[in-house]
């Protein structure tokens, strides 16, 4: 067992403790960025002027009317930028654009004494536009060949031969939408300048170091002249990884120009209309199975709808390509990826970061193909799970394949799946107007950043003379419990009670050059760094203790705030007494910790290597009941077994699994982003820009029975104290809900039928799937055949209902004998 993963006797990690700020959250005493405005004197407020076109050139700006509005202090425009007028890391996101690239694009910003003054000032500004052609869907972009960024290609085996030799070949296409983050706290920044000209920005950001970098280059400064702090976030889910940077830069620019603090907080409508979402995808695919139903070949093209600029679309697409296999062995694979440029918000990171989109493709394929192969979908999935000595299409060994099997079997056993499948069959045979479905789906999700350089973390640990401990690390807290785990790691590493350790807010002047709290890597990176810093201090204290006890340093023990020595007759001493003694011996009581993930290698030019430290695994079973008249449904029961390694904090991990699953179910079944795709003047406007029009999961959508178990005997050798990441992987467990809905809809038709199901699988989408089943359209929207080429039309087939979500209509292609 490695020193990184080995746990001491009686560790603080592993105990199910509440979130470190839970009482603050539920009592309203937790402070977020915008709560600091009331504590800040003479604060100005910022409001944007948004473009009313999906795509248009800005031909004239007259800001003078705004200055006549009482309370307006200044209007910020491109002329005010002392550095680089760009808010992105790809230099394709002008902070003050001369061309509106999506409906709601901020052109200039107004600063006012009050938020209302800034809003009225923004309304008074006159801007003329010259409308330009716009692209609103991935299909339109594909037809126009409007792509941006890299186009990754991943290949293994002989795809053409694999498809030619396959006993069963299907091909089709699948288009699905994105998802709004809908964090409780919208984007917010508060900037001020001190007497030395130092810029201090409080930001709701998952990536303080990158926010610091963008603010600095907009202001024409060095990074050491800008400090960014993130106290905590009211949710992030990836939406605050890249998107906060430009907003923080606006606040900082305003503060520099006015000499006053500037607060920028988007209300919900502004937030939804201006900031990025999960990427929607368009996919085309061909798949081959042998006579027994084993996968033999997959050929797919993934087109991510990136919106108007690149943002994080390239790594999102790369992760999607690398996760198209999910948990299944496919000998021959060819995947091409590309990013569509459309006139929407610039789509960005969202929990799973492309992994869910890639995994969804193969899960949709298996769900559609299973009935046509004469196979139960659960059996088809089970037989295709990874086995011994198999590797992913990009060449990484799947070393823990047995965990997939163990999790699957535990769900089947603990969930009483065999009996319940029989119950579902009996129910469906006796109920004409409602049907049930029960589906099992696996998850295999790679943990590490796509870009190897990001897999590093830092920490600063301070031990005071009285024995109290203050830890700083580069990760940010957005409610996911990272700080809770870091406190437990530090207490375990030092051998002190949890109450001895306190955690400071994340700041760029304490821990520099940090990676984003993203990719489910926050615990691995920052936990490793904290453990490293604590071990440096502990090693120094061990020398002091060994001198006191007169024993070898190897015989010193730290446990629960007491220091003792094996083989010594001296009384044990308190931790605080030891730190006091060390201070008077001039022993350093602070340390900067560092951790880098070892064993990673990745060649993005050929999409080959081992980009992930390990895989997180899980299996979920979901049972649903569907109403045949409306398509309305309820989730009756969910059973989950998930692999978090050896849990650092079981309450936190179970909460993350439950929350991730529910958020995934929202994407799968409820949350529908709708942009105006008409030729009206409102073309490009987001129609679902409030809670009144964007349906989020609520208590009524929770499973009536919700069982979550952590996979046992799952120690992870290569991670801090044997744990595994938990943030993103559980979201994909929600595939089971959509697949259960597909099976329930198909049950309204003849046995053996396959139906298409839109995503999100709203009641309307489920109703149209039921109609397909009733009418005998049960080919799953697919064509059989094994020709090497296919053509997919740009528009749905002529038999598609005008409101039917049949965006996956397929080309008519004769089967090859």
Active site residues: 728
Encoding tokens for residue 408? 């699957």
**Cα 511 to Cα 508: distance, rounded to the nearest angstrom:** 5
CA distance readout (Å), 644 to 382, 445, 647, 808: 21, 12, 6, 36
What is the dihedral sign for C-alpha 238, 723, 712, 327?
positive
CA distance readout (Å), 396 to 162, 300, 696: 21, 20, 37
**Contact assessment for residue 320 and residue 358, using Cβ atoms and an 8 Å cutoff:** yes
Phi/psi of residue 160, each to 5°? -65, -40
**621: Cα within 13 Å, side-chain hemisphere:** 24
Q: Which of 665, 613, 653, 788 is nearest to 166 (CA)?
A: 788
Characterize the bridge pairing of strands 153-156 and 99-100: unpaired
What is the dihedral sign for C-alpha 134, 140, 146, 148?
positive
Residue 626's beta-bridge partner residues?
435, 633
DSSP letter, residue 183? -
DSSP letter, residue 686? B
Phi/psi of residue 144, each to 5°? -90, 0
Angle 315-604-305 from CA coordinates, rounded to 5°: 30
Q: Which of 132, 157, 160 is nearest to 146 (CA)?
A: 132
> Could you tell me how far CA 486 lies from the centroid of its own chain?
20
Angle of the 522-549 helix axis to the 482-494 helix axis, nearest 10: 20
Written as one string, the DSSP assignment of 41-88 is TT-EEEEEEE-SSSSEEEEEEE-HHHHTSTTEEEEE-GGG-SS-S--S
Q: Which of 32, 5, 15, 24 is nearest to 652 (CA)?
A: 15
**Contact assessment for residue 264 and residue 122, using Cβ atoms and an 8 Å cutoff:** no
Instruction: Residue count of the chain, please give it.
Output: 817
């Amino acid at each position: 067992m490695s020193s990184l993963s080995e746990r001491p006797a009686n560790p603080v990690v592993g105990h199910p403790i509440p979130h470190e700020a839970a009482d603050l959250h539920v009592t309203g005493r937790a402070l977020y960025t915008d709560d600091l405005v009331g504590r800040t004197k003479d604060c100005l407020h910022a409001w944007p002027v948004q473009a009313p076109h999906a795509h248009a050139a800005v031909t004239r700006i007259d800001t003078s009317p705004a200055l006549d509005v009482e309370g307006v202090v200044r209007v910020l425009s491109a002329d005010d930028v002392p550095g680089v007028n760009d808010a992105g890391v790809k230099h394709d996101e002008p902070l003050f654009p001369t061309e509106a690239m999506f409906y709601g694009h901020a052109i200039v910003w107004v600063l006012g004494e009050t938020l209302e003054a800034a809003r009225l000032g923004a309304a008074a500004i006159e801007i003329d536009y010259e409308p330009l052609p716009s692209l609103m869907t991935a299909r339109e972009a594909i037809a126009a060949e409007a792509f941006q960024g890299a186009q990754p290609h991943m290949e293994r085996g002989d795809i053409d031969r694999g498809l030619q030799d396959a006993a069963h070949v299907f091909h089709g296409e699948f288009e699905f939408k994105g998802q709004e983050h809908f964090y409780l706290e919208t984007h917010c920044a508060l900037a001020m300048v001190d007497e030395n000209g130092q810029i201090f920005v409080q930001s709701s950001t998952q990536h303080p170091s990158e926010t610091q970098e963008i603010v600095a280059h907009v202001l024409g400064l060095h990074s050491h002249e800008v400090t960014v702090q993130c106290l905590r976030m009211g949710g992030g889910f990836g939406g605050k990884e890249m998107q906060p940077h430009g907003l923080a830069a606006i606040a900082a620019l305003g503060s520099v120009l006015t000499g006053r603090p500037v607060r920028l907080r988007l209300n919900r409508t502004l937030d939804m209309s201006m900031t990025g979402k999960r990427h929607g995808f368009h996919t085309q695919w061909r798949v081959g199975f042998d006579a027994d139903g084993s996968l033999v070949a997959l050929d797919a093209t993934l087109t991510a709808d990136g919106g108007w600029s690149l943002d994080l679309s390239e790594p999102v697409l790369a992760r999607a390509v690398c996760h198209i296999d999910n948990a299944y062995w496919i000998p021959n694979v060819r995947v091409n990826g590309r990013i569509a440029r459309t006139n929407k918000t610039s789509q960005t990171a969202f929990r799973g970061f492309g992994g869910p989109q890639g995994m969804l493709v193969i899960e949709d394929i298996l769900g559609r193909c299973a009935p046509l192969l004469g196979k139960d979908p659960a059996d088809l999935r089970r037989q295709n799970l990874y086995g011994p000595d198999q590797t992913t299409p990009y060449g990484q060994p799947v070393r823990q394949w047995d965990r997939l099997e163990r999790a699957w079997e535990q769900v089947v056993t603990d969930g009483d799946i065999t009996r319940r499948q029989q119950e579902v069959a009996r129910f469906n045979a006796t109920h004409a107007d409602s049907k049930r479905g029960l589906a099992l789906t696996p998850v295999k999700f790679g943990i590490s950043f796509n870009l190897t350089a990001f897999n590093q973390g830092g920490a600063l640990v301070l031990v005071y003379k009285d024995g109290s401990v203050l830890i700083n690390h580069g990760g940010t807290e957005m409610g996911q419990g990272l700080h809770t785990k870091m406190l437990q790691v530090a207490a375990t590493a030092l051998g002190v009670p949890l109450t001895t350790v306190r955690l400071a807010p994340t700041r760029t002047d304490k821990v520099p050059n940090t990676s984003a709290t993203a990719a489910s890597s926050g615990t691995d990176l920052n936990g490793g760094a904290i453990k490293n810093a604590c071990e440096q201090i502990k090693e120094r204290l061990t020398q002091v203790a060994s001198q006191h006890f007169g024993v070898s340093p190897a015989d010193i023990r730290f446990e629960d705030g007491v220091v003792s020595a094996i083989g010594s007759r001296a009384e044990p001493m308190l931790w605080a007494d030891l730190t006091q003694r060390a201070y008077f011996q001039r022993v350093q009581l602070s340390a900067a910790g560092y951790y880098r993930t070892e064993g990673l290698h990745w060649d993005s030019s050929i999409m080959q290597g081992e980009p992930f430290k390990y895989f997180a695994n899980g299996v979920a079973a979901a049972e649903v009941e569907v109403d045949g008249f409306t398509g309305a449904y309820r989730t009756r029961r969910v059973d989950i077994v998930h692999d978090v390694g050896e849990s650092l904090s079981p309450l936190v991990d179970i909460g993350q699994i439950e929350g991730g699953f529910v958020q995934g179910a929202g994407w799968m079944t409820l949350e529908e982003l709708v942009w105006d795709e008409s030729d009206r003047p409102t073309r490009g406007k987001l129609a679902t820009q409030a809670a009144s029009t964007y349906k989020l999961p609520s208590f009524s959508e929770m499973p009536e029975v919700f069982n979550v178990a952590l996979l046992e005997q799952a120690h992870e050798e290569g991670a801090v104290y044997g744990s595994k990441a938990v943030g993103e992987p559980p979201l994909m467990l929600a595939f089971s809900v959509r697949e259960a809905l597909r099976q329930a809809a198909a049950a309204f038709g003849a046995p053996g039928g396959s139906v298409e199901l839109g995503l999100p699988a709203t009641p309307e989408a489920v109703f149209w799937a039921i109609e397909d089943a009733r009418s005998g359209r049960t080919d799953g929207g697919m064509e059989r055949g094994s020709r090497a080429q296919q053509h997919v039309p740009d528009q749905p087939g002529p038999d598609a209902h005008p409101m039917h979500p049949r965006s996956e209509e397929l080309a008519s292609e004769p089967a090859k004998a």
